[in-house]
Structure 1
Amino acid sequence: MVFSGPGLDERLLASLREATGEYLSGSLLSQRLRVSPGFIHQEVSELRKQGYEIEGHPHLGYRLISSPDLLLSQEIRHGLQTATMARRVLSYRRVRSTNEVALQIAHNGAPEGTLVVAESQTAGKGRLGKTWYSPPGVGLWFSLVLRPHMESSKVFQLAICGALAVAEALYQRTHLPVRVKWPNDVLIRGKKLAGVLTETQADGDLVQLVILGIGINVNQGVDDFPEDLRDKATSVRAELGRSISRLNLLQDVLMEFEERYQKFQERGLTPFLERWRQLSWILNRRVRVQVGGRWFSGLAVDIEDTGALVLEEASGKRQRLLAGDVSFQ
């Protein structure tokens, strides 16, 4: 697989955007983009099929009227201020799982930061083998190809960074009372809004590849969730009372994650622990944690720089847990 720069569609859209609603003649676009007028006409037709409203005039040329509410690669990259994340984007209408696609293209040489995003997933992945409900057009379902230099035992810490990036992006854009639930969930008022999943390939103790998958419930209505999820899950729209731009939120998350990813590779989790504690939904609460077939109960007292949850049992003994599924007593 070859990963190239912006295609003709993105370059054409960039020119139309720069014109800020004014017409650009076919001949000018042809000269600027170094293609024939016929190619310009064909590309305009393709963009219209994708949902772009482009007005054509026989004497004046073309002008961009509006863009679709779709997570298209050219829209995601437009205005995105990242150095690595989503500089390459693969956008799909529907996939089984963005993590599956990301893993496949990573094996074919996709560079670090490559983004796979879909309007819907038919078999979206959650933690512990669970399925993530991913209906079309209302959420953010995406995965990033990462190639960090780290030990495989520390990969789960990337999920902590990802959850915090999602929480910060949501708070900055909506000011909703977002909270993080160790190790990888984002909640509002105790209901799940977003989750992060990491899948890893390693050579011995050294990581070769990490796929970081993120799912965020954005514009679902309360009744859009299946009945068995309505008391457990929520969305930005359900909490805010209105829909927001999925595209803007995705760009926010990508920028927040890139900043944390860079710091994480230099200093681990240390720079983020204080903010994590501030946003934690479980600290100073009594919880139960399932780790495989074992259960631990006690007071969640801290998260360490290793990412471990510190649980104080009734006996006073402290357990340090590196993974598990948390529920409340």
Structure 2
Amino acid sequence: MKSHDQLLNLLKRHPDQYVSGAMMSQELNVSRTAVWKQIRKLETAGYEIEASTKLGYRLLYSPDEINSERLAESHSTARFGQSIHYFEQVKSTQDSARALAESGAPEGTLVLAEEQTGGRGRMGRGWVSPQGKGIWMSMVMRPHVPIHCAPQLTLLTAVALCRSLRRLTELPIGIKWPNDLLIRGKKISGILLESAAEDERLKYIVAGVGISVNLSEGDYPEELLAKATSLRIEAGQPFSRSAIVAEFMQEWETLYDLFLQEGFNAIAALWESLSVSIGQKVRLVTPQGELEGTPVGLDESGAIRVERADGSLVTIFSAEMGEPLNRS
């Protein structure tokens, strides 16, 4: 058994108690320096361990494991999440899923990683994705729809994730246009859809989703704490990552099939009911410049309709939406 596994077993044998460094050193027959190094390894793997100069070490949190085989059996989807590729570490689940898509992977093929070293969000931003605490995933989609429908699938993914998370956590999660999930103004999830087209039709879409599930405040850089949070921080308790993925897959496939059969209108209505953007005066940074206005709803393409101060309506297809300007 590896020394860090022995150390972990020792900490688990003393739940909610401190174990002195001297005791660890003696039981494991290693130096105090070696104990400290193994503690660091456990923390890198997602364990949270409290250290006290006088008392020793105490295990505060153990990451839950994602078992890909049990996960595939835990939901009754026909396609989504039925083929799972699980990795301890990848640069980006998007890159891995795109390679699978190019090699002919079927729709619903899911890539899950415990850790991303180069996770990215919209507009090329980085994403905090420590090992064992979040859900970092990408899925291959092959919808038989025109290219212009791709933005609608981004909104659909946000609706599916928001609805499934609200059911499981009972937290007040809402959607900021187009696809950020927020709790009380702080971001808990991001969604990135990247597509490949052929002959004016979508060849495939790779839908990347990052969910901050069991991150603690210490996992975030200080500058992000004012605008980022996790389900665990907000609820005061950890959640099963496998249960979240299974619930999400079920909801995602249900809404996707509804979209393919009946079009975007039903999805748009669900999105608007979950939106935290509608009715809030905001500043938007578009490729054409900045503007202020109040979002009033989606159009048939998935673009946001914004009412200006003079009462005119403008349709925004791509923009960075700021915080509400009229929040008290």
Normalised to the residue count of structure 1, the TM-score between the two structures is 0.77
Q: Secondary structure of 1:132's partner?
A: coil
TM-superposed deviation, 1:76:
1.5
- Among residues 296, 311, 320, which one is paired with 1:316 in the alignment? 311
Runs (4 or more) in structure 1 with deviation over 4 Å come to none
TM-superposed deviation, 1:269:
2.0
Q: Secondary structure of 2:248's partner?
A: helix
- Kindly provide the amino acid, as one letter, of the partner of residue 90 in structure 1: H
Contact 2:67–2:242, Cα closer than 8 Å, also in 1: no
Q: How does 1:43-122 map to 2 (within 5 A)?
A: 69-122=64-117
Structure 2 counterpart of 1:225: 220
TM-superposed deviation, 1:124:
0.7
Structure 1 counterpart of 2:43: none
Residue 158 (structure 1) aligned with residue 153 (structure 2): yes
Residue 303 (structure 1) aligned with residue 298 (structure 2): yes
Distance in 2 between the 1:266 and 1:292 partners? 34
TM-superposed deviation, 1:259:
0.5
Distance in 2 between the 1:306 and 1:120 partners? 34
Q: Secondary structure of 1:261's partner?
A: helix
Structure 2 counterpart of 1:195: 190
Q: How does 1:258-277 map to 2 (within 5 A)?
A: 258-277=253-272
Q: How does 1:233-248 map to 2 (within 5 A)?
A: 233-248=228-243
Distance in 2 between the 1:227 and 1:75 partners? 36
Percent identity (aligned)? 36
Contact 2:296–2:306, Cα closer than 8 Å, also in 1: yes
Structure 1 counterpart of 2:144: 149
Residue 215 (structure 1) aligned with residue 210 (structure 2): yes
Structure 1 counterpart of 2:31: none
Distance in 2 between the 1:131 and 1:268 partners? 33
Structure 1 counterpart of 2:125: 130
- Kindly provide the amino acid, as one letter, of the partner of residue 254 in structure 2: E
Q: Secondary structure of 1:228's partner?
A: helix
Q: Secondary structure of 1:256's partner?
A: helix
Deviations 1:155-177 (A, max 9, x none): 01111011111111111011100
Residue 167 (structure 1) aligned with residue 162 (structure 2): yes
Per mean C-alpha deviation after superposition, the further-off stretch among 297-306 and 132-141 is 297-306
Residue 186 (structure 1) aligned with residue 181 (structure 2): yes
Distance in 1 between the 2:81 and 2:289 partners? 39
Distance in 1 between the 2:228 and 2:213 partners? 11
Q: Secondary structure of 2:322's partner?
A: strand
Per mean C-alpha deviation after superposition, the further-off stretch among 267-276 and 232-241 is 267-276
TM-superposed deviation, 1:304:
2.2
Q: 1:289 to 1:204 in 2, by over 3 A?
A: farther
TM-superposed deviation, 1:317:
1.6
Structure 2 counterpart of 1:253: 248
Per mean C-alpha deviation after superposition, the further-off stretch among 205-214 and 304-313 is 304-313
Q: Secondary structure of 2:261's partner?
A: helix
Normalised to the residue count of structure 2, the TM-score between the two structures is 0.77
Structure 1 counterpart of 2:276: 281
Contact 1:70–1:119, Cα closer than 8 Å, also in 2: no
Structure 1 counterpart of 2:321: 326
TM-superposed deviation, 1:293:
4.9
Distance in 2 between the 1:78 and 1:108 partners? 25
- Kindly provide the amino acid, as one letter, of the partner of residue 304 in structure 1: D
- Kindly provide the amino acid, as one letter, of the partner of residue 314 in structure 1: A
Structure 1 counterpart of 2:60: none
